[in-house]
Amino acid sequence: MTHNFNFTIALMRLFFMQRYRLWLLIYVAWLTTGISYAQQDFIVTGKVFDVDNKPVAGAKVSIEKSAFTDTDENGYFSIPLSRPIEQQPKEVRVLRRDMRVKDVKYFANTREFRILMENISGFFQGQVISANNEPQQAVDVLVKVGNYSEKVATDAHGFFSARLPENVPLTKDIAFTVSGRRIPPDKIRVFQNAGFVMLRLPRGDTAPRKESEKPEEAVVNVTIYDENYLPIPNLKIKVDGVTYITDKEGKFVIKSSQVDVSKFIIDGYEIAKFDFDEKGNYVFIIVKSEGLREPRIPMRESLDSTIINYRDDFYSIINELELRKQILAEKSNQIRSEMERVADKLNNERDITPAQRENLKKYLKNLEIALIENDVAYENAQQKSQELVQRLRATILEKEGRITTVETQRQITIQILYVVAFVAFVLLLAIIFGYQALRKINQQKKEIERQRDEITQAYNNIKTLSAIGQKITAILDFKKLISTINTNVVSLLDASVFGVGVFNEAEKKIEFMDFIANGKQQSYHSESIEKPSFSGWCLKNRKEVVINDLAVDYAKYLNASSFQVTEDMPKSLLYLPLVREDRAIGVITVQSMKPNAYNEIDRKVLSTLASYISIALDNSNAYEIIRRKNKNITDSIRYAQTIQEAMLPSAAQMQEVFGEYFVVYKPKDIVSGDFYWLDYLKNEERENSSMPILAEKGSKVFFAVVDCTGHGVPGGFMTLIAHQLFNEIISLRKIYDPVMVLEMMDRKLRAILKQQDKVNDDGMDVCLVIMERLENNKLRIVYAGARRPLYFFVAKENKLYFLKGDRASLGGLQRKDYNYSRYEAVLEKGDMIYMFTDGFADQNNLNKQKFGSKTLREMLELHATKPAEQQKSLIEASLDVHMQGTEQRDDITIVGIRV
């Protein structure tokens, strides 16, 4: 702070000198920006989870030397930083006993971290500091417990990582020795749950360094990886004449002045990549075993940068991104298959308990979350591809700018030549030099144009490949998929012939459908894999077939005596196998009438396209299997719907019995858990057969509205049981007391479902009414209800009444008989009777608000005097307005009867 203040005063003294005013303005702008920026916190969030995708709670997290914060029970954390992070951070620390960081991903657009931890028994971390809280870098730490000991070194910030024997806790009783000096217990601070220990040196004591190290010189942490990016332990390295050995994590510490690739010598290996970060003091080296060729020393690259050599590395980077996307797509397919299996178990297995069903639903929800996270990872990989495309576009623009500059220089040189032509002999040498310069510029222009053309072609290929890949992997219909592939691939390659062959395993042949030959779409042909053919060789050996000249190269794959070359055959051919999860799906081929038509770039383009097609064909096959299964299941359920609808009273029966009535019947699924039942005893000496049976004196009508547990197929089976019980008790045994009917149904239902022996809470809610025409032409109703009310509207009073019924369903977990209540009422002509299930009142809208029983009563009372069909239309319209397109949550049944 003092230094900045003095520097500011000095600049203000120079303000009146003209030559320093601009620099003063720049400094003031920088200082103001820095202060305002420092006052704003940069909030980052993230989640810490283990290799089983379970959250890691109670872990301590620090980003870029921030204060540690704890993760919550779901593994989430939030940290305010003093400055923004644009790329992958240089320092992320997570402290948790027996765990260490395996992978860190940072998404700059959402400021979000995903930190993967792995379990390592006995793993812990620590830091060595002086009495003045200064980190001690590049010092040796010896950890000793009994006969076990491990020696490690601290990094540039004094941190170290070590392990303890299994079942040995991290306590002050462990012997810690720093550079040969034992740390007393009172200078050891242990954070047990975090798996972290702080070692403080006694006052006036600092850890000694090696004699060759200068105290003021920083140290650098070096990590050695193999070609698979795995750390190499116990590896000897010579750096500037000094021998080092990597620890278990492939790490060792050197001086910052030694960070030079030319100073590193590793016997038996050559350095493939050398990345370093001068500010963060970290070096990462990737090595590979020495081959026959001479080892080369690569260029030094700054950490977190991507150097793209468009000639050699372009397609390898693209293929790496595409491979990651394919792996993510495969994982999504696996998650969807598991979701289908759980959903199938929920729908089809009847013996699972409610607790098992609830656990399966929770598991299904977790699968949905995993699928979303996996799809987000797929989108991030897709975004990286787009970023690479944008960088290519910028490179192309840069090349075009350089071509323009070269063209300008060329024009200037030509003008100079015109002027020099009129100059005397003494300027002849200048003309010669100008001609040579012009020739060199032309060569540079041609080279730049060639490079630009290569990048443009690569950019267009990647853009087209990405579009084709997105398009074909989204198509599930097989014929449309093949047609789309054929239509789009001709824009990528010189393809006089192009086709996709699908392997028919049953008939042992490869079928080519709608392939392209000489620019025209052909119908169909097949090639047996038992007979010699390029496609059969490719599929059997699962290797690509590359033919640059058919007359010369065919013998590599086919027997010369069984194959003849003719003039009308293509000269160049490429065949690639389509393989998915080690299953042979088919082959893809492009063919040209020109020899040597395909180079390495074309082969890589076709290889990437083959990966997309393999995924698309596999998705198409899976979709066809699911579609057929779904159709079979749906057909079976619709047949069950036909049976259930036949079980319900017909419109003619309802009209014959009641005259004026309406029914609102809306199953949630194809098969309903709601139903209504009708039976009657009519007067055999009816005076007027055109009158409804209910209007005849001496007639009795039995009517019930039932809401069974569940909906869909399970609810449909319950309706069959209830329908049979009504027929048995009322129609056959002629029990006309509604209370006795409900009590007998309750006992029989529990016996049928064996609820005395099993944990089965299935049951049903019932509204049962027996209606009888009296001598005075009035209607007496006797009602009993199991959690279902009866509503009736008295026309003279213009008022709606209701009987609530008993709060006990039929069946369920109750273990003793329930005594239901009987209610009676007398109604007159013009009154209305309403019976319904709870589906209408419980239906929610977009704001999760139910329609409600109170609103339903008010609506029925408002429209009760209207004709029955008009009431039905108004009720259905009110439901549509309330739902506003939301999903129906339960079966809905409302029956209205005019007295």
How confident is the model over 630-689, as pLDDT tens digits? 888 777 788 778 888 888 999 999 999 999 999 999 999 889 999 999 999 887 766 667
Provide the 8-state DSSP code for 202: P
Determine the residue type at 135: P
Identify whether the C-beta of residue 585 lies closer than 8 Å to the C-beta of residue 579. Answer: yes
- Which of 15-24, 91-100, 138-147, 800-809 has the largest mean confidence? 800-809
Strand partners, 527: 510
pLDDT at 20: 42
Q: C-alpha distances in angstroms, 433 versus 112, 309, 428, 436, 899? A: 60, 34, 9, 5, 116
CA distance 473 to 289: 39
DSSP notation for 803-817: E--BS--EESS--S-
Q: How confident is the model at residue 305 (pLDDT cuts 50, 70, 90)?
A: very low
Cβ contact 285:273 at 8 Å:
yes
Summarised one tens digit per residue, pLDDT across range 462-496 is: 767 677 777 777 787 777 777 777 777 766 777 77
Dist CA 413 CA 416 (whole Å): 5
Which helix H or strand E contains 385, and what residues bound it? helix 354-420
The residue among 789, 840, 792, 833 whose CA lies nearest residue 657 is 833
DSSP 459: H
Q: 18-32, 124-138, 227-241, 453-467: lowest mean pLDDT where?
A: 18-32
pLDDT of residue 323: 54
pLDDT (average), residues 220-243: 82
The answer to whether the beta carbons of residues 838 and 765 sit under 8 Å apart is yes
- 3-state SS string for 300-340: CEECCCCCCCCCCCHHHHHHHHHHHHHHHHHHHHHHHHHHH
3-state secondary structure at position 715 = helix
pLDDT at 882: 95
Q: How far apart are CA 52 and CA 440, in angstroms?
A: 62
Residue 839's pLDDT band, with cuts at 50, 70 and 90, is very high
Q: Which two tokens stand for residue 331?
A: 């994982």
Of 100, 97, 136, 132, which Cα lies nearest the Cα of 115?
100
Measure the CA–CA gap between 219 and 126, rounded to whole angstroms: 18
**Residues forming a β-bridge with 729:** none
Q: Which two tokens stand for residue 324?
A: 């990651």
Please give the residue that has the higher pLDDT: either 822 or 31.
822
- Work out the average pLDDT over 79-94: 84
Nearest to 787 by CA among 774, 770, 800, 768: 768
Tell me the per-residue pLDDT of 741-753, one tens digit each, with 9 for 90 and over: 999 999 999 989 8
- In terms of Cβ atoms closer than 10 Å to its own Cβ (0-12, 13-18, 19+), residue 672 is buried
| Count of C-beta atoms within a 10 Å radius of residue 25 | 12
pLDDT in tens, 536-594: 899 888 889 999 998 888 888 887 677 778 888 888 999 999 988 788 889 988 888 88
Among the listed residues 831, 703, 704, the one whose alpha carbon sits nearest the alpha carbon of residue 777: 831
- What is the pLDDT confidence band of residue 218, given thresholds at 50, 70 and 90? low
Q: Indicate the pTM of the whole model.
A: 0.43
**Cβ–Cβ < 8 Å for 417, 438:** yes
- pLDDT level of residue 322 (50, 70, 90 thresholds): low
Whether 211 shows a pLDDT value over 50: the answer reads no
Position 643 scores a pLDDT of 85
Residue 709 vs residue 760, higher pLDDT? 709
Q: Which residues, in sequence order, are CB contacts of 436 under 8 Å at separation 6+?
A: none
Nearest alpha carbon to residue 594 among 457, 492, 494: 494
Output the pLDDT for position 279: 47
**What is the gyration radius of the CA atoms in the chain, in angstroms?**
41
Residue with the two structure tokens 């990989």: 381
What mean pLDDT is predicted for residues 717-730?
93
Tell me what the mean pLDDT of segment 700-716 comes to: 89
Neighbours of 577 (CB within 10 A): 22
Instruction: Give the total residue count for the chain.
Output: 899
Q: Is residue 1's pLDDT more than 60? A: no
What would the mean pLDDT of 386-413 be, rounded to a whole number? 67
Residue 577 structure tokens? 């196998």
Helix (H, G, I), strand (E, B) or coil at 518: coil
How far apart CA 632 and CA 629 sit, in angstroms, is 5
pLDDT tens track for 791-806:
999 999 999 999 998 9
pLDDT the model gives residue 846: 92
283: which 2 tokens?
């070096």
- pLDDT mean over 287-312: 44
Question: What integer pLDDT is reported at residue 293 of this predicted model?
Answer: 40
CA-CA distance, 312 to 507, in Å (whole number)?
43
722 pLDDT band, cuts 50/70/90, is very high
The pLDDT of residue 855 is 95
Contact 791, 861 (CB under 8 A): no
What is the reported pLDDT for 2? 43
| Dist CA 291 CA 294 (whole Å) | 8
DSSP 228-281: TS-B--S-EEEETTEEEE--TTSEEEEEGGG--GGGEE-TTEEEEEEEEETTTT
On whether the CB atoms of residues 779 and 773 are closer than 8 A, the answer is: yes
pLDDT at 800: 96
Query: Is residue 692 predicted with pLDDT exceeding 60?
Result: yes
- Tell me the percentage of the chain whose pLDDT exceeds 70: 81
Give the contacts of 793 (CB within 8 A, at least 6 positions apart): 799, 800, 801, 831, 832, 833, 834, 860, 861, 864
pLDDT of residue 662: 97
Q: According to the model, what pLDDT value does residue 785 have?
A: 96
Residue 561 DSSP label: G
Query: 262 vs 576, which has greater pLDDT?
Result: 576
Q: Is the model's pLDDT at 319 over the cut of 70? A: no
pLDDT of residue 360: 74
**Range name among 101-110, 289-298, 450-459, 671-680 with the lowest pLDDT average:** 289-298
Whether pLDDT at 209 is above 60: no
Q: What is the pLDDT of residue 38?
A: 40
Which one-letter amino acid corresponds to residue 213?
Answer: E
Backbone φ and ψ for 489, nearest 5 degrees, come out as -75, -25
| Residue 529 CB partners (closer than 8 Å, separation 6+) | 503, 508, 509, 510, 535, 536, 539, 540
Q: Which amino acid, 685? A: E
Residues 707-721, mean pLDDT to the nearest whole number? 87
Query: Is residue 296 predicted with pLDDT exceeding 50?
Result: no
Per-residue model confidence as pLDDT tens digits over 159-171: 888 888 888 888 8
Side chain identity at residue 238, one-letter code: K
265, pLDDT greater than 80: yes
Looking at residue 619, what is its pLDDT? 81
Structure tokens at 693: 């049976």
Going along 650-757, which residue ranges are E strands?
661-666, 674-681, 700-708
> Residue 181 CB: number of other CB atoms within 10 A?
15
Residue-averaged pLDDT of the chain = 80
Q: How confident is the model at residue 402 (pLDDT cuts 50, 70, 90)?
A: low
CA–CA dist 780, 772 (Å, integer): 5
Sign of CA dihedral 159, 160, 166, 167: negative
Give the DSSP letter string of 718-736. Answer: HHHHHHHHHIIIIIIT---
pLDDT band at 841 (very low <50, low <70, confident <90, very high): very high
Q: Which of 800, 867, 878 is nearest to 834 (CA)?
A: 800
**Cα–Cα distance measured from residue 820 to residue 741, given in angstroms and rounded to the nearest whole number:** 10
Position 158 pLDDT exceeds 80: yes
Q: 332: buried, middle or exposed (CB in 10 Å: 19+, 13-18, 0-12)?
A: middle
Banded model confidence at residue 401, pLDDT cuts 50, 70, 90: low
- Which pLDDT belongs to residue 862? 95
Distance, in Å, from the CA atom of 828 to the CA atom of 832, rounded to the nearest integer, reads: 9
State the distance between the two ends of the chain, measured CA to CA, in whole angstroms. 94
